[in-house]
């Protein structure tokens, strides 16, 4: 069995993430989706809890009929030198990591894991930072995220949460 | 949608755990299974990593056709006063917790979560401590755990790992 | 008995803080004053230790005859999702929190605590950042803080400490 | 002004502690009472939160008209080599520590703080461990603690909490 | 250049440790001696600071003319799954580890480091626990440790420290 | 015996550091060189592991025949109020600290350690930040560091590591 790992903070889970998962889920038997910085929430950079992000992803993938995945929150360890070991201990064994991040690629590659670079989605259109910015400015953010994400953001009153966080940041 | 939480260390996942999951999985739409002390491994009390325990459970439930579950590692926070909030932030929202542990029941109940006590399996026959003891003494441990657990223990050379840990404990 | 909570970093304790305490101390039987980021000191943002801040406040309130308060240092926990539980475990039970911070208001309100917004003092005149700035520039900072604060800053050579911290920041 | 420090875990605050405070409060202008292991609660060794212990002590001392004290929770740092600095940073400056613990005496004495050994109360009669034991066995624990402590234990349903913790310890 | 690693807590550094170092220092160009649990001190199990243990070893090896070593304190990380990465990040690159501990051997061997088992010294005669026991009972401990260790223990009043720790342990 | 302490992050070890060590190594019997922020690596500010930095320094000093030094990694503790105690517990006893940092000087001086300010090397020419900048821009960095540092940077492919870190920082 071949298992792959895909890491993200998913603040929030957007169409760019979904595009990648659609591409890579078919290349492995099981796809482990790691929710990074799982301990963070209620900040401008990381507004949503790991549980909320879990729901954004699982509701979306379930609706699409994608089933061969594990969703695993990964709390930070804040030391790159032990980070690969930390990730490996929390998730089931995997043989390949999908990433376009150079540092992640290097750290896992040095540690003996195969690295595959997924096709790049347009980062000008889709990025967590951009989506959060559009939400803050009252723009049309629903078109940037899957319906599952939009439902969770609404259920937790996420737009208001982000605006209050922006107010306090000053 | 009704979601329930079931917590355990699953060192290892044994037939008693499985019995409970079979009982409760039908009572909720989604069952969140939290793998506690996720950061621990390679000790006599906690020999297996969170990833290994994840695999024991998911392989077993998949074979049995149980599909309505999330598996989520939960690292310890070592302070009971914030533990309920910690768990809630890491997992999707749940309405009920299944537990026979009095303290867990009290902490979640005080925090406003419904508590259901599952039927008790025989703790003389099934308990993590007992299974580890049988493994250590070279007894017939395979009958105490699902086939999925047995396969994982064998794949990671778990019997030898436990014995080495016992040798070092002195 | 009705107990209220008022939180601040008090770096240093200034006339704006005092104004609020005078307003709210009469509204409750006991006022718990939480000294936030208690573990921090000797930085430009957080120059004074929790013990020094404790003394600034207690000396001031004692001179004014305000007696119905508890002063409690609160170390950071750096996770908003467990922060309310963390604060609650460290201080005596309280029924109301006084705050004009939107996030604090939201977190405690979601957790079932009544929130009262005290009248706003002028943040252009009084704020910790402003007071630290005036001290650094050699301005007339004594008029911005109660006499108790001024005495503590002088006793610990606080003006020199802040300037050295500014020098090192580069 | 002369300030003294008295440290304890106060699990719970009992008559032996009170005896010592009565003896030493008159020897200093201000007595800092440090509530140790402030982060712990809901265990057999440390059943009560720092907030609950705060209330046991403040209610008792207030009824007795003892006013010259500060009550300060002190979270553990788990390294003796930095413990004195840690305590010093959290509490107002003090010149003397009251303790009969040899290690505490040595650590503070090496760090230049005067150590005074209070008269010993009978540890066979009064000790946190003994009081917890009497509570667990259903004995007459009220005579071992001040009325303020008894009221807090009852208000938080402390007897039941201890028994549930004992049940789970197995 | 071939570098080897030798790990110990060295509480205190005794003749058994020295025997091993004499045996293995000649087998490598550089010997990295890792002082484990570096953050611990002033407990019965770990009475001496990392700095004190550093001195015990360096004074002894300098007197013996052993020069090809590095001495490196290693603070605990309390998670075996990341421990090898943690050690590797703190010390210069090494190709071989000398150990008779089965778990250490397994963890490093799985991570691709060559393991050499040094000849065993008599653990009945030499062990940290035994040396601490002899010190506590007032026995003849000086014959169990190198002169460098004895000098450091005397300089820091280590015998009295251990006895005070034993008194408090009750 | 007189021992001195010199602290730095050494990211990387450059000619300015070496100049200072040459000046001060002759003023003490033993020089303790503390490698600060030892836990950090693989970031733009802290690209090299403690082990790599250890090697940069030891190879350089060995070639120069400087032998009276200890090299000790010091992990951060992130609280200035306990930092001096933290450092003291990890390194052998020292009587003097060499530093031009005002805060370090103040903290150690308040704690009773003699402070000596070494002659200043030119910070416009030599600083860790500057060296990292020159490496990133593809400039002539080898002339800014000792040969020992250059060899280590090359051995670990450090130029490429820094560039990848810069790419990811965006």
pLDDT at D164 exceeding the cut of 90: no
User: Looking at residue A168, what is its pLDDT?
Assistant: 54
D65 touches chain B (CB under 8 A): no
Q: Are B2 and B40 in contact (CB under 8 A)?
A: no
Q: Which of C39, A139, A134, B95 is nearest to D74 (CA)?
A: C39
Q: What's the rounded Cα separation, in Å, for the pair C85 and B86?
A: 9
Q: Which of C18-27, C128-137, E159-168, F141-150 has the lowest mean pLDDT?
A: E159-168
User: Looking at residue B170, what is its pLDDT?
Assistant: 37
Q: What's the rounded Cα separation, in Å, for the pair C7 and C24?
A: 12
pLDDT at C169 exceeding the cut of 90: no
- Chain B residues in contact with D49 (beta carbon < 8 A): 81
The pLDDT-based confidence of C46 (bands split at 50, 70, 90) is: very high
> Contact A92/B52, CB-based, under 8 Å?
yes
Regarding predicted confidence, which is higher, D167 or D129?
D129
Q: Do chains A and F touch (3 or more CB pairs under 8 A)?
A: yes
Q: What's the rounded Cα separation, in Å, for the pair F169 and C6?
A: 39
pLDDT tens column, B41-59: 999 999 999 999 999 999 9
pLDDT at B10 exceeding the cut of 80: yes
CA B44 to chain centre: 16
- % residues pLDDT > 70 (chain D): 96
Of E81, E103, E107, the CB nearest to B49: E81
Query: Is residue D170 domain-resident?
Result: no
pLDDT tens column, A135-162: 999 999 999 999 999 999 999 999 999 9
pLDDT at B119 exceeding the cut of 90: no
Whole-angstrom CA distances from A145 to A17, A94, A142, B41, B145 are 9, 28, 6, 38, 42
> Contact D164/B102, CB-based, under 8 Å?
yes
> Contact A39/C79, CB-based, under 8 Å?
yes
pLDDT at D168 exceeding the cut of 60: no
Measured between CA atoms, how close is D114 to chain B, in angstroms?
A: 34
Q: Which of C86, C101, C93, C3 is nearest to C38 (CA)?
A: C86
- Identify the residue among D75, D76, D79, D82 best suited for mutation to test binding to F, counting F beta carbons within 10 A and taking the highest: D82
The whole domain housing F119 covers 3-169
CA D50 to chain centre: 10
Q: What's the rounded Cα separation, in Å, for the pair B35 and B7?
A: 6
F118 touches chain E (CB under 8 A): no
How many structural domains comprise chain B? 1
Mean per-residue pLDDT, A78-95: 93
Q: Do chains C and E touch (3 or more CB pairs under 8 A)?
A: no
- Chain C residues in contact with F107 (beta carbon < 8 A): 42
Q: Do chains A and C touch (3 or more CB pairs under 8 A)?
A: yes
Taking CB atoms within 8 Å and a gap of at least 24, the contacts of B78-83 are B79/C86, B79/C89, B79/D39, B79/D40, B79/D41, B80/B107, B80/D41, B80/D42, B80/D43, B81/C85, B81/C86, B81/C88, B81/C89, B81/D39, B81/D41, B81/D42, B81/D49, B82/C77, B82/C82, B82/C85, B82/C86, B82/C89, B83/B107
Of C50, C55, C93, the CB nearest to D90: C50
Chains that touch D (3 or more CB pairs under 8 A): B, C, E, F
Average pLDDT over chain B, rounded to whole?
Answer: 92
Q: Which of C31-35, D45-49, D164-168, E163-167 has the lowest mean pLDDT?
A: D164-168
Q: Are A91 and A70 in contact (CB under 8 A)?
A: yes
User: Looking at residue F165, what is its pLDDT?
Assistant: 87
Q: What's the rounded Cα separation, in Å, for the pair E32 and D92?
A: 44
Q: What's the rounded Cα separation, in Å, for the pair E105 and E114?
A: 9
Q: Do chains D and B touch (3 or more CB pairs under 8 A)?
A: yes
pLDDT at C170 exceeding the cut of 50: no
Query: Is residue D161 domain-resident?
Result: yes
Mean per-residue pLDDT, F61-66: 95
pLDDT at C168 exceeding the cut of 70: no
User: Looking at residue B169, what is its pLDDT?
Assistant: 43
The pLDDT-based confidence of B168 (bands split at 50, 70, 90) is: low
Average pLDDT over chain F, rounded to whole?
Answer: 92
SS3 (DSSP) at C103: helix
pLDDT at F170 exceeding the cut of 60: no
Q: Which of A56-70, D56-70, D101-115 has the lowest mean pLDDT?
A: D101-115
Of C41, C164, C167, the CB nearest to F81: C41
Mean per-residue pLDDT, C98-117: 89
F164 touches chain A (CB under 8 A): yes
> Contact A85/E85, CB-based, under 8 Å?
yes
Measured between CA atoms, how close is C88 to chain B, in angstroms?
A: 8
User: Looking at residue A21, what is its pLDDT?
Assistant: 96
Angle between helices C50-63 and C147-155 (to 10 degrees): 140
Angle between helices C102-110 and A158-169 (to 10 degrees): 140
The pLDDT-based confidence of D119 (bands split at 50, 70, 90) is: confident
pLDDT at A119 exceeding the cut of 50: yes
CB atoms within 10 A of CB E168: 16
pLDDT at D68 exceeding the cut of 70: yes
pLDDT at D106 exceeding the cut of 90: no
> Per residue in B27-52, is it b (16+ CB within 10 Å) or e — as a string?
ebebbbbbbbbbbbbbeeebbbbbbb
D71 touches chain C (CB under 8 A): yes
Q: Are C83 and A39 in contact (CB under 8 A)?
A: no
> Contact F92/E54, CB-based, under 8 Å?
yes
> Contact E42/D102, CB-based, under 8 Å?
no
User: Looking at residue C142, what is its pLDDT?
Assistant: 97
CB within 8 Å of E161: residues ≥ 6 apart: D106, E42, E47
Here the CATH number for the domain that contains residue F154 is 3.40.50.620
Give this complex's ipTM.
Answer: 0.87
- A62 → chain B, closest CA residue: B68
Q: Are E59 and E77 in contact (CB under 8 A)?
A: no
The pLDDT-based confidence of E169 (bands split at 50, 70, 90) is: very low
């Amino acid at each position: 069995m071949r298992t792959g790992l895909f890491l993200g903070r998913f603040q929030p889970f957007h169409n760019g993430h979904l595009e990648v998962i659609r591409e890579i889920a078919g290349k492995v038997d099981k796809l482990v989706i790691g929710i990074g910085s799982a301990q963070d929430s209620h900040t401008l950079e990381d507004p949503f809890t790991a549980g909320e992000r879990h729901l954004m992803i699982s509701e979306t993938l379930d609706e699409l009929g994608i089933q061969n995945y594990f969703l695993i929150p990964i709390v930070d360890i804040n030391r790159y030198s032990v980070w690969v070991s930390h990730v490996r201990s929390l998730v089931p064994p995997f043989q390949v990591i999908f990433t376009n991040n150079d540092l992640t690629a290097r750290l896992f590659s040095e540690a003996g894991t195969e690295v595959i670079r997924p096709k790049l989605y347009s980062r000008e259109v889709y990025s967590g930072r951009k989506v959060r910015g559009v939400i803050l400015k009252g723009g049309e953010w629903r078109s940037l995220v899957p319906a599952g994400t939009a439902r969770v953001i609404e259920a937790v009153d996420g737009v208001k949460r982000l605006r209050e966080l922006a107010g306090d940041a000053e």
